[in-house]
Structures are given as structure tokens and as C-alpha cells.
Structure 1
Amino acid sequence: MSSDEKDVENGFRSPSPSTGAVERWRTYLFQDVDGKQCSFPLISYCFMTGLINSVGFSAIYVWMAFQTGNTVQLSLAVARLFNGSHNYEFQLPDRLALCSLLTFIGGAFIGRIGDKMGSNTRAWLVLGTFIQTVFTMAAAIAIWKSGEPAVADARSDVAWGSALSFVCVGFMSASMGLQGIMGKRVNTQFTTTVVLTTTWCELMAEPSLFKIRKLVKSRDHKAVAIFACFVGGFVGRAILDRVGSAGTLGVGTGLRFLVTLSWIFVPAKKGAAKK
């Protein structure tokens, strides 16, 4: 009996080339990315913040990512209970703001999965961004099926109000919450990619703010994050006026998928542990 036959008889098999390829691919995916070389996907995250917010705010005057505004809006809704007007109605914009806040928190909570996989590994960054893609696609389908208009006439007359519009708001906000915690975990000058108030403050406090002739990463990346969000809002509204809410979110879905793929090509952090 040959040695190979003895190995098979004893339950041992030589590793196939495909097994080695799978192991190398797994090792590659579970390497931590280099935060200094994550600019493209993080700038894209900031762009998506502007685009997604443009859809929600244009229709219902509620932010999908900026939960400070939604939190204060809800506090004002509670304050109306005590102003003597006896108006105890929980108005539609307030219900939409509550939906956005709760689902944003839910999306951020999903981001804790990354703590188990490794929050800076390619595997989680690809998976997490793909989940954002699915959420954005689900939002597009929901608002498409609702048939509601894309732009509100006035703050007192929002464009959305059906059950499907709440589903759309929920998925958009969840995608933003997940994006925010993933951006935070990467820990770069782009911060969470969804909250620009802090970014504006840090930019104004930057000691090298006026060193125009010198590249300063801590300053320049913050400025780029703000600009990308602005451009995202501008582009989002331009697309919205042409193809409506569902079409704009469809474009956002495609962009998110491209960002998903881009994480695969981000170089590993030097000395990253192989898992």
C-alpha cells in the first residue's frame, strides 16, 4: 500500500491547493486596515451622509443622520403637553423624528457586531458596509411602493405619512447609525462621518488652521469630510428633482455597494495581527 493510501486509510488527507487559498483569503480579510489609507471609503461615507439626509429632509424635514435635531424636536413635542394649549396630539413630523432616532440607535447597535469580528478588519468593514447597502435598498423599495412625492410643500405639510414611509425612514436612519459607529471605530480625522457639528468645532480649533501652504492631515481631512457631506446633499437634491426619492436611494444603494468593494483593497495596518 502506498503512503498516500495509508494516509487516506488513517483519516489524513493532504491539504488541497484550494484549502490553502481559502485560508490565505480568510487571513487577508481579518487583517486590520491602515486607518491612514482609508480616505476614499470614509470620504464616500461623508458623501452618503449628505445624500441620504437630502432625501429625508426634502420630504419630511427630519434628519436621518443628525440625531441632535431629532432629539430636540422630540423634547419640543413633550414641552407642548405643558403649554396650556391642551394639544396632546403626537404630530406626524414628531412621530417620524422618533422613528428616525430609534432606528438610528438600532443601526448603531448592529455595529457592535464589529467588536466581535474586529472593528477594523476588512471582513467587518466589507460586511458592515454591505448591510448599509441592503438597508438603503430596502428604503428605496419601501418609498417606491408607497408612491408618495419626493418633496414637501411646507413644514406643516410633509410629503410622507404612510406606513411604508416610516419603513423607509427606519432603514435610512439605521444605515446612518451603522455607518456612524463604523466610522468612529476606524478612529480617523473623519470621526463618525455623520456628525459634522463636532467636526466644525474641531476644525475651527485646529492650531494649523491657517497654514495654507502646508498639508495638515488633522485639518485637511476634517475640511474634506465637511465638503463631501455638502456635495452629497447637493447631488442628492439634484438627483431627487429628476428621479424622485426611490431613484435617489437607488443611486445611493449603488454607491454604497462600490464602497463595500473598496474596503477589500485598503492596505493592512503595518504589523497587523493575522487571525
Structure 2
Amino acid sequence: MSSKENLPQPVSAHTSLDISKDDSRLWVAPPNIFSKSHLFTDVDPDRSTFPLAAYCFMTGFIDAVSFSAVFVWAGFQTGNSCQLALAIARLFAGPPGQRDTTFHLADQQALTSVLTFVGGATIGRVGDKMGAKTRAWLCLGTFIQALLTMAAAIAVWKSGQGSVADDRGNPAWTNALTFVAIGFMSASLGLQGIMGKRVNTQFATTIVLTTVWCELMTDPKLFSLRMGVISRDHKIIAIFALFFGGFVGKALIDSVGSAGTLGIGTGIKVLIAFWWLFVPGKTTRK
């Protein structure tokens, strides 16, 4: 009996336990964080929850700034595109000679947002060369987002204009520097969107939540409340993070203004950039 009691446990018992623990960790502490092998390893999309949730937070955070000032979304280009369509339709409304052919300020701001968003997303294609899911690109790309957000903060600060519009007909931002700020904010979110999409998770682009809402409501395990379901839970995290980002952004705007809020957003982006270095890499599953 004693010999049986002293028999070692199967190696597979320890191995499976260790693997399950490692697979559930959302961060790693590598011995050489700036080594080439570490930087150019793909992150595990399933364990990229923290930085992607932070991306969603920043979407709400930055959109709160642009919408409060000019009623234009820096990230949600569906509304901006529709607004431009309405502007074109307005050219044909009414009898000839009495049509409104003015390029309204709100339409100019929407066009600025759309074009610069596309420009920022185009920068994201650099990641295809480096590896869209590598720590090196995710860190570098997020740092570029931080620089764009910082540029927006400086532009708003130098513009000398307010932070909150009274109504749609009286936007807080009207001069050239505020157009620059809208452009930099939109470019930052455009780059974020394509980076989030390339990681390919339940967070989708981290920008637009319409698809996330639809997929959440059609999830077959939506009401399986006693079990963890990644396809459901990560979508809920994305929605809550964006909502919370908008709430925090508005609170900061009322406290420190748009420039200060974007400055804080720059710091958050830098933290996200470095966080990508600690996201676990993909593991070979047997």
C-alpha cells in the first residue's frame, strides 16, 4: 500500500493545470521586454481584453469632446456620412434660385472628420507590413494614436475657443485650429479602429457598437448567466467601456475643458501602448 501511495502523479496532471492557468492570464512579465522575439510575437486575441476595452473607453472619451463642442462624432462615421448626404440633397431642395447652396459649418466639420478618419485608418495598413497582431505594431500604433490625440489637445488649446456648444446652430469651435483638432481626433480613432479590427475579437473595431449590439442580442448564450461566455461577455465589456468613457470625458470637459481632457486622453493612450507589451502571445493548443 505504501508503494502505491508514493507513486508520482502523471505528468499530464501537472501540465494540464499549468496550461489552464497560463491560458487564463491576461498579462505576462517577460525577462527581456524589448527583445525582438518578444516584440514581433503575435498577441493572443482572446487575452487582449484590457487594451481593447481601453480602446472602447477612449472611443467614448474622445467622442464626448467632439460632440460636446460641434455635435460631430470623431469616431462614428455613419452619422457624419449621412449628414454629408443630407447636405448634398439640400442643394436640390426648393425651386431654382431659392436653393440653399451654402456649405454649412457643421457639414464642413463632418467632412473633415470623415476624411481624416480615413487617413488615420490608412496609416493602420503599416501594421500589415510589421504584423497586425505583433506587440511591436500594437505598441507603436497606439503610441501614434497618442501623438495624434496630443496634437488635437494642442490645437484646441491654441484655438482659444470654448468646449461646450449651446446648440447645433452655435458650435463652440469655428476657427481653423479647431478643424485641425477635429482632424487629429478623427485620425486617432481611425487608426484605432483598423488596429482593433485586425486583432479580430468580440470587441470588433472598438469604434462602432451597432454591430456589437446586434451580435450581442443574437448570441445563443445571451441568457446563460451561470457560465462565462466570451462572445457575450466581451461585447458587454465593450459597450460598458465606451459608455463609461463618454461619461468620464464629459465630466472632465466640464472640469478642465476640451484641451485638458484630450491631454489626459493622451496619457491614457500612452499607458495602453505600453500595456500591449505585456499581453500574452499566442500559445499552441493541442
TM-score by length of 2: 0.86
Q: Partner amino acid for 2:148?
A: F
Structure 2 residue 127 is matched with structure 1 residue 107: no
**What CA distance in whole angstroms lies between the structure 1 residues aligned with 2:140 and 2:192?**
12
Alignment of 1:135-214 (within 5 A): 135-214=148-227
Secondary structure at the counterpart of residue 91 of structure 2: helix
Q: 1:211: Cα distance to partner?
A: 1.1
Alignment of 1:1-275 (within 5 A): 25-84=35-94, 85-271=98-284
Q: Partner amino acid for 2:106?
A: P
**What CA distance in whole angstroms lies between the structure 1 residues aligned with 2:199 and 2:264?**
25
Runs of 4+ off more than 6 Å: 21-24
Seq. identity, %: 62
Question: CA 1:23–1:187 in structure 2 vs 1: closer, same or farther (change >3 Å)?
Answer: closer
Please give the root-mean-square deviation of Cα atoms over the aligned residues, in Å: 1.5
Corresponding residue for residue 3 of structure 1: none
Question: CA 1:71–1:213 in structure 2 vs 1: closer, same or farther (change >3 Å)?
Answer: same
Q: Partner amino acid for 1:184?
A: K
Q: 1:154: Cα distance to partner?
A: 0.4
Q: Partner amino acid for 2:67?
A: F
**What CA distance in whole angstroms lies between the structure 2 residues aligned with 1:24 and 1:170?**
32
Q: 1:37: Cα distance to partner?
A: 0.9
Secondary structure at the counterpart of residue 210 of structure 1: coil
Q: 1:236: Cα distance to partner?
A: 0.2
Q: Partner amino acid for 2:86?
A: L
**What CA distance in whole angstroms lies between the structure 2 residues aligned with 1:110 and 1:154?**
34
Q: 1:23: Cα distance to partner?
A: 11
Task: Say if 2:162 and 2:173, in contact at 8 Å, map to a contact too.
Answer: yes
Task: Say if 2:33 and 2:277, in contact at 8 Å, map to a contact too.
Answer: no
Q: 1:215: Cα distance to partner?
A: 1.1
Task: Say if 2:33 and 2:39, in contact at 8 Å, map to a contact too.
Answer: no
Q: Deviations over 1:105-159 (max 9, x none)?
A: 0000000000000000000000000000000000000000001100000011111
Q: 1:187: Cα distance to partner?
A: 0.4
Q: Deviations over 1:192-241 (max 9, x none)?
A: 00010111111111111111121111001001100000000000000000
**What CA distance in whole angstroms lies between the structure 1 residues aligned with 2:241 and 2:282?**
25
Secondary structure at the counterpart of residue 82 of structure 1: coil
Q: 1:26: Cα distance to partner?
A: 1.0
Q: Deviations over 1:23-59 (max 9, x none)?
A: 9801110000111110000000000000000000000
Question: CA 1:61–1:29 in structure 2 vs 1: closer, same or farther (change >3 Å)?
Answer: same
TM-score by length of 1: 0.90
Deviates more, 1:171-180 or 1:77-86: 77-86
Q: Partner amino acid for 2:123?
A: I
How many aligned residue pairs are there? 252
Q: Deviations over 1:41-87 (max 9, x none)?
A: 00000000000000000000000000000000000000000001411
**What CA distance in whole angstroms lies between the structure 1 residues aligned with 2:157 and 2:131?**
36
Question: Structure 2, unaligned stretches of length 5 or more?
Answer: 1-30
